[in-house]
């Protein structure tokens, strides 16, 4: 008996999480992509279980017409591709079924912020409240350490080593790495931890480092809103107001100051140097090179 789209999608999500061991973020990204595919098929009068080549091409054109980023379209099609492979593996589709091909990736260089723009964004957080201090500390952490939005939102108070000026970051694939930070960020963390304690009225039970107004862990959407708000206050163009742009910016600035590619790969937590190569080329120990190269060290 043929399975429904919803049943197949749910089984695929379990497979992604439990058998493939992929992250909840990946599973959620694939789920949203499959929902977009279903909505498109329903509007076009197509069966969402039938991922035909012509239908997929039309779907990709529709996504492009919505001005979606090339990287977003890649992720959506990657989810469809994995889903079709899963259905073949599961016996829901015959061997030899056409497997979706990923569209060509855009070669556009990542947008970056100048050092002056980053400083203006940080200055836009100046103020006496917990939220002013939280926003500056979170944004300075992104700009100083080059970590991903999800990594920042996952930081705990115990992730901080102020003595050694290191962050313990849990990256993609649950890989842990140490990321160094500069003396000025250490001072900012010290100020923030005091403000955080006052905000929580001395409650020591909450372990996450950055908190929302509801005293809950800061989400990626919360972080995006912070970048948007503070960036607009600093009169920075809206198309560059995203958390990952701060990551791209520090990577680019470090390379321009002489950090080699292998060290940058370790600093950013890339599993493959091919991912880092989009920023450029050049070797030495992470802490020594970082202290020499970081624009704000």
Q: Name the residues annotated as catalytic.
A: 148, 172, 244, 247, 270, 279
**For residue 12, what are its two tokens?**
């695929």
Question: At 252, is the secondary structure helix, strand, or coil?
Answer: helix
φ and ψ at residue 240, rounded to 5 degrees: -110, 10
Burial class (CB in 10 A: 0-12, 13-18, 19+), 163: exposed
Gap between the Cα atoms of 297 and 277, Å rounded: 24
Q: Provide φ and ψ at 167, rounded to 5°.
A: -110, 140
Q: Where are the strands (E) in 41-197, listed by range?
A: 160-161, 166-170, 176-180
What are the distances in angstroms from CA 132 to CA 161, 191, 263?
Answer: 23, 11, 33
Task: Give the count of beta carbons closer than 10 Å to the beta carbon of residue 121.
Answer: 28
């Amino acid at each position: 008996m043929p399975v429904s789209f919803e049943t197949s999608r749910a089984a695929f999500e379990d497979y992604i999480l439990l058998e493939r061991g992929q992250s909840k973020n990946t599973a959620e990204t694939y789920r949203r992509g499959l929902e977009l595919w279903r909505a498109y098929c329903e509007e076009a009068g197509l069966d969402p279980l039938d991922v035909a080549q012509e239908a997929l091409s039309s779907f990709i054109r529709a996504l492009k017409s919505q001005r979606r980023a090339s990287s977003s379209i890649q992720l959506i099609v990657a989810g469809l591709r994995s889903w079709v492979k899963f259905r073949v593996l599961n016996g829901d589709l015959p061997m030899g079924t056409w497997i979706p091909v990923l569209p060509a990736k855009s070669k556009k260089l990542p947008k970056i912020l100048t050092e002056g723009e980053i400083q203006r964004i940080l200055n836009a957080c100046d103020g006496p409240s917990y939220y002013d201090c939280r926003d500056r500390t979170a944004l300075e952490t992104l700009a100083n350490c080059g970590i991903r939005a999800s990594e920042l939102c996952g930081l705990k108070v115990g992730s901080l080593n102020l003595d050694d000026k290191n962050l313990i970051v849990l990256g993609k694939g649950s890989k842990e790495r140490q990321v160094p930070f500069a003396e000025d960020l250490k001072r900012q963390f010290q100020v923030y931890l005091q403000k955080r304690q006052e905000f929580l009225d001395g409650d020591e039970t909450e372990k996450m480092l950055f908190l929302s107004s509801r005293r809950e862990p800061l989400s990626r959407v919360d972080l995006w809103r912070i970048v948007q708000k503070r960036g607009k206050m600093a009169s920075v163009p809206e198309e560059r107001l995203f958390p990952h742009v701060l990551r791209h910016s520090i990577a680019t600035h470090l390379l321009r100051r002489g950090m080699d590619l292998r060290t940058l790969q370790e600093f950013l937590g890339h599993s493959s140097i091919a991912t880092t190569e989009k920023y450029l080329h050049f070797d030495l120990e992470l802490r020594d090179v970082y202290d020499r190269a970081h624009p704000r060290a």
